Homo-oligomer: A and B are copies of this chain.
Amino acid sequence: MDLLIKNIDIVTMDDCNKVIKNGYIGIKDDKISLVSDSLPKGTQWKEQIDGKRKIAIPGLVNGHSHSAMTLMRNYADDMALETWLFDNIFPVEAKLTEEFVYWGTMLGIVEMLKSGVIAFADMYMFMEEVARAVTETGIKANICKSPVQFFEDGELKRLDKSQGTIDYYNKYHNAADGRIKVFVEIHSTYMFNERTLANAAALAKQLNTGIHIHLLETAAEVESSNRDYGMTSVEICKKTGVLDVPVLAAHCVHMTDSDLEIMKAAGASICHNPTSNLKLGSGIARIPDMLDMGINVCLGTDGAASNNNLNMFEEMNLAALIHKGAAMNPQLMKAKDVLKMGTCNGAKALGFEDSGMIKEGMKGDLILIDTDKPHLYPKTNPVSAIVYSAQASDTDTVIIDGKIIMQDRKFKNIDEEKVMFEADALSRKLLT
């Protein structure tokens, strides 16, 4: 066998939510080959990690991000949504090139890996560069490409670019040893129209893949959808076939009962982005209702320009807290359910069905949390410790497809200093 992690507390997140104290995890090739409280005799291991005072959990999955927006971190805060977007973000984004997106994404990936993220869903521009950064770093990603080009000569035209999406899909889907999944991007129902929504849905069906979409993030979208389509954004998605394929829908803050029923019936996944929804004043999504209905809800950071980090520990903490407070009910959003949102629900939503649990036969995608810190003593409930007490910086080791990407917070094959340097220099060029 290849790798043995011993003396480790394991939060498996398997179907029985099993927690093993002082156990063993074995990895062969890219898969988990052993999860046990005792070590079978006679097996030889090429490499061993002592897991004493550490907790193993499935790697975190960031269900919605625009990673390259790290370049705009802390650039524009505490302002009205329109001022933020039209006067600050859009003018900067108009200056982006391949180089900016590559290094911005690299910075985002380095930050995410150091925060225990093993896979992320990304939606942005120059997506070839995102694929390149994912390939080079060893992380997993669900990336997407829009079949519509919105503007030409500054005018909103919604031009058909389906062939670009088909080529992108053919080039990258299941590339990087299967670490990449490609979905079709639908930015939103308000940037598309009925024809382009139907075309995108047909394209996803033709490619046998899913769709990543921003859905009902703001109250303004509720109004515009009613005005433009005479129905809710969810209803127009249903009508145009968008919900006939696997859907990863970000935000979903303003959903009617009927919208939720449609999402549930379609088997769509919803990505909750608590920091971004709060920071932009979008509102508080009906997550407890969604979980009650059995909808697959995962967690995401959104871009660093509206967060301002890519820290899934903070998203788990927030998700566990805000719905209790808003509903004045401390029994909502239990720690184990939130950890499930941050791990296996995310893996499922992104199309990595063989990830998200520490279980024999699943991919070797897991992280080790260093609990030898004052804020993680005493050693009581490991699930509560991860959701309520831990910081992203407690991530000690990141293993993806059985490969050690980071150990003792040091990367094996990524030049972290160079990434920070390049991104900082480019950001200064971009923001001045």
Chain A interfacial positions (CB closer than 8 Å to B): 70-71, 73-75, 77-81, 84, 107, 110-111, 114-115, 219, 275, 277-284, 304, 307-311, 314, 317-318, 320-322, 324-335, 372-375, 377-381, 384-385, 388-389, 391-394, 416, 419-420, 423-424, 427-428, 431
**Do A74 and B281 touch across chains, with their CB atoms under 8 A apart?**
no
Which residues in B have their C-beta under 8 angstroms from that of A393?
Answer: 391, 393-394
Instruction: Give me 17 other A-B pairs in contact (C-beta within 8 A), A107-B377, A275-B321 excluded.
Output: A73-B378, A74-B385, A77-B381, A77-B388, A107-B374, A280-B330, A282-B325, A283-B325, A308-B384, A309-B375, A311-B375, A372-B420, A377-B423, A377-B427, A378-B423, A378-B427, A380-B427
User: 8 tightest A-B contacts by CB?
Assistant: A278-B325, A378-B427, A281-B330, A74-B384, A111-B374, A308-B388, A278-B321, A393-B393
Q: Report the nearest B residue to A310, measured CB to CB.
A: B375
Q: In the complex, A219→B327 CA distance in Å?
A: 13
Q: How many copies does the complex hold?
A: 2
State the Cβ distance, A240 to closest chain B Cβ, in Å. 29
**Do A431 and B115 touch across chains, with their CB atoms under 8 A apart?**
no
Q: In the complex, A394→B392 CA distance in Å?
A: 11
Contact status of A325 and B111, CB under 8 A, knowing A78-B331, A307-B388, A311-B391: no
Q: Report the nearest B residue to A333, measured CB to CB.
A: B78
State the Cβ distance, A427 to closest chain B Cβ, in Å. 3
